Structure 1
Amino acid sequence: MAKSAKRRAPLWARISLIFGCVFLVLGGGGLVTGQALMSKYAGAVTDNTLLEDQPAEAAPRKDLKGALNVLLVGIDPRDTDTPPLSDSIIVAHIPEDRSRAYLFSLPRDLYVTIPSFPKAGVREHQAKINAAMSVGSHVGNGKYSNQQGFQLLSKTVSGVTGIEKFDAGAIINFGGFKKIVDAMDGVTMVIDQDVVSEHLQPNGKPRARKPGCQGHHRCSRPYTGPQKAYKKSAKPVHLEAWEALDYVRQRYGLPRTDYDRQRHQQQFIKAMAKQAMSKDVVTDPGKLLKVMGAAGDSLTFAGGDHTIVDWALELRGINTDDMTTINLPGGGLGVGSDYRGEQFSPEVGDFFAAVRENRVGQFLLDHPGFVNKED
């Protein structure tokens, strides 16, 4: 079926604006891009060592053809003395016809096989997937590298999904997310269920710690006192930057725990991308450059042989409304109180096969339950 003749606002986030990088702006009938504009957010780190440990057959392409897969990882602010944890793991799949972008998340507690990684002295073992980036980041002398940790995480995600290679990768610092949303004066999104904050009071200040839970990691839920609450609303609600970031962090008390959190993060990504293309941003040069600068300060990007501009041009036909977020079903793994982590339902393997074979659209027509309700 032919697409409608609607005026298309391009997916400003494309793949890396999703995690904080502005690829391009299409406005007033002209392409506003190029190295001069891109230099306005040159703070973005380009580091192709993220893709260094890809198999030999996954060498960078001379051009961006075929279906594309991009690994996007969100981490909390860390220094080189602290191992990173991948608290958000999202794969963006773009089919060969460039008609859509499909986003699916891997739960941080997914119980997986972490492959051997000699660089960090890691032997093959089973653990929660968010540990892969941490154990792979060890570079010696008590120092840690986000980029090296990403390499092991990439290998681990490949083992789970069967995707042999990723065409690009990005690490976003969650602290940078707040800068981006601040630059956009907050974000407007639907709150699809009641959520209570584990971390913040109603005024945005941190909750107090319980007696005996003052040290890091001594208690699984160490906070006490009043909590910020987000009420379910059928209509979009405007959230300040601190509220948006707090909302998408929450999993405790939710019926589907981390699966609900994944859905909220995907909804947040769509809301950010759509708002970034709004007139309030793209027609205000000062705000636009402020958003771009915040994005650049927060991102490490690897695009193989291709620059951010190359990726922007390749994906310029994708609309924010052409972003489909995927619900991968799963549940807890363990016996009784022995909780090991999360596991996917068997049918998720069929979805991963569809990703590898570039037939996600047909799979979703046959299995509509995999599409998140807001899509």
Structure 2
Amino acid sequence: MTSKGRHDEPDEDPGPLSIFDRDEDDDEDGGPDSDGDGPGPGPAPRRRRGRRLLAWTLAVLLVLVGGAFGGLLWAADHYASSVRRIPDAFPALPASEQPPAVPHSGQTFLLVGLDARSDGPTTGKDAKAPAWQVGAQRSDTMMLMHISADRKSVALVSIPRDTWVPVPGHGRAKINAAYSWGGPALTVRTVQDLTGIRIDHLAVIDWNGFRALTDAVGGVDITIPRTIEAKGDAREWLAGTHHMDGAEALLYVRERHGLPNGDLDRTKRQQNFLRALMLRTMSSGTLASPSKLTGLLGTIGDVASVDDRLSNTDLYDLAWSLRDIRPDGVHFMNAPFGGFDTVDGQDVVLMDDGAASVLWTAMRTDRMDDYLAEHRTSADTLGRDVS
């Protein structure tokens, strides 16, 4: 009776399974029935081995994932730290004397390209834009880059280097003189006064640096729509698509004397090159290849300089926020052209102040998509047919 009653009792509920629970019948020596009384129930050892295997597998995965994440953080910080910071890049003026910042209106960068041909040949890490010295160099290229608040579009507007503008403390002059006279701070102030746009950040690169970037992605394809004959020091450019390495691309963006519209066509060539470089980077597998991406990031760190307000965290937060940008979301144009003139023996470019005011307002208020929709066919907007 007693034996029968015991067998009639229901089996004890084993409870939920967990990879962290130790079996109750495991003793310190590592198994049931270690006293030699018998092997115990058959399925238990197999189940315990399965649990241990699962636990170790998960532990290894956690270590690997944690290590990979830590490696990514290290790489991001390493490359961001390799970008030189520019101190005192902004004018030392009270806020009341600068354009007001507009909340929730995206970010605007001033991009400055220097041409240090007089400094001798530079490549790779030696191509980083040199520190500014009074009278040592004028900016060769100037662009305003506006990133929309929703991070879906980017607009780049070139201001030709010969544009005749007021330079604070120096009267009217070509805009590229501001860098020579007062470095980054005077350049930022000049552009802010001209446009009424608060500049959030500054980036400077020597055009030799673009040569290194071009080589880092394996060259770029640029189409010359019609043959341009040699003129003076300017080389001949044959019609057709050219696969350019860094040295040839540098000749392409520097040229202006053989072009029909001089400095205006030169800025369009620079924009066309940047567009080609961007397309090459996105389409060549560079972003998907760890080795290619590492090489590109290392080159950027070697050749670029940014203001010291842009922290490492700011840099990779910005890069991450732009991860969904596509080529058709990046737009290039020139500041509205008002004609050529000669002032004190200097050939200068005039800006159409009325048309420019509309553009600057659109950029300042983050309405560049509306502006582009209305002005897409303008001669100032970069098309596919670039001389």
TM-score normalised by the chain length of structure 2: 0.68
2:349: which partner in 1? 342
Choose the corresponding residue for 1:174, options 200, 207, 214.
207
Instruction: Check conservation: 2:91, 2:186, Cα contact below 8 A.
Output: no
Choose the corresponding residue for 2:147, options 94, 109, 127.
94
Percent identical: 30
Shift in Å, 1:286: 3.1
What is the SS of the residue equivalent to 1:304? coil
From the two aligned structures, give the one with the greater helix fraction: 2
Question: Is the counterpart of residue 153 in structure 1 residue 187 in structure 2?
Answer: yes
Distance 1:134 1:262 in 2: 20
1:367: which partner in 2? 375
Distance 2:176 2:358 in 1: 23
- How many residues are treated as equivalent by the alignment? 294
Q: Quick one: structure 1 residues 69 and 157, their matched pair in 2 at CA, closer, same or farther if it must change by over 3 Å?
A: same
Q: Counterpart of 2:199 in structure 1: which amino acid?
A: F
Q: Counterpart of 1:286 in structure 2: which amino acid?
A: S
Q: Quick one: structure 1 residues 42 and 97, their matched pair in 2 at CA, closer, same or farther if it must change by over 3 Å?
A: closer
Choose the corresponding residue for 2:157, options 104, 121, 137.
104
Instruction: Check conservation: 1:41, 1:295, Cα contact below 8 A.
Output: no
Distance 1:96 1:326 in 2: 20
Q: Counterpart of 2:161 in structure 1: which amino acid?
A: R
1:354: which partner in 2? 362
Question: Is the counterpart of residue 67 in structure 1 residue 100 in structure 2?
Answer: no
Choose the corresponding residue for 2:317, options 310, 318, 322.
310
Structure 2: state its 5+ residue gaps.
1-68, 120-129
Distance 1:35 1:196 in 2: 50
Matches within 5 A, 1:208-357: 223=233, 228-233=235-240, 236-302=241-307, 304=309, 306=311, 307-327=314-334, 328-334=336-342, 338-345=345-352, 346-357=354-365
Distance 2:261 2:329 in 1: 26
From the two aligned structures, give the one with the greater strand fraction: 1
RMSD: 3.0
Q: Quick one: structure 1 residues 55 and 308, their matched pair in 2 at CA, closer, same or farther if it must change by over 3 Å?
A: farther
- Which structure would you say has the larger Rg? 2
Distance 2:141 2:356 in 1: 19
What is the SS of the residue equivalent to 1:260? helix
Structure 1: state its 5+ residue gaps.
1-29, 117-123, 137-148, 199-220
Matches within 5 A, 1:128-143: 128-136=174-182
Question: Is the counterpart of residue 39 in structure 1 residue 72 in structure 2?
Answer: no
Instruction: Check conservation: 2:91, 2:189, Cα contact below 8 A.
Output: no
Q: Deviation per CA, 1:152-199, whole angstroms, max 9, x where unpaired?
A: 011111122121x2111100011211111122221112224444577x
Shift in Å, 1:44: 1.4
Shift in Å, 1:340: 4.7
Q: Counterpart of 1:171 in structure 2: which amino acid?
A: V
Distance 1:154 1:332 in 2: 24
Instruction: Check conservation: 1:189, 1:268, Cα contact below 8 A.
Output: yes
What is the SS of the residue equivalent to 1:326? strand
Shift in Å, 1:288: 2.6
Shift in Å, 1:95: 2.4
Q: Quick one: structure 1 residues 184 and 161, their matched pair in 2 at CA, closer, same or farther if it must change by over 3 Å?
A: same
Q: Quick one: structure 1 residues 130 and 350, their matched pair in 2 at CA, closer, same or farther if it must change by over 3 Å?
A: same
Deviates more, 1:347-356 or 1:149-158: 347-356
TM-score normalised by the chain length of structure 1: 0.70
Distance 1:242 1:36 in 2: 29
Shift in Å, 1:314: 2.9
Distance 2:93 2:331 in 1: 27
Distance 2:369 2:331 in 1: 10
Q: Counterpart of 2:167 in structure 1: which amino acid?
A: I
Shift in Å, 1:96: 2.4
1:27: which partner in 2? none
Distance 2:94 2:205 in 1: 24
Distance 2:362 2:99 in 1: 23
Shift in Å, 1:67: 2.1
Choose the corresponding residue for 1:49, options 80, 88, 91.
88
Distance 2:93 2:282 in 1: 34
Q: Quick one: structure 1 residues 108 and 238, their matched pair in 2 at CA, closer, same or farther if it must change by over 3 Å?
A: same
Shift in Å, 1:301: 1.1
Deviates more, 1:68-77 or 1:81-90: 81-90
Q: Which has the higher contact order (CA 8 A, sep 6+)?
A: 1
Q: Counterpart of 1:184 in structure 2: which amino acid?
A: V
Q: Counterpart of 2:150 in structure 1: which amino acid?
A: D
Q: Counterpart of 1:322 in structure 2: which amino acid?
A: G
Instruction: Check conservation: 1:92, 1:103, Cα contact below 8 A.
Output: yes
Instruction: Check conservation: 1:195, 1:250, Cα contact below 8 A.
Output: no
What is the SS of the residue equivalent to 1:107? coil
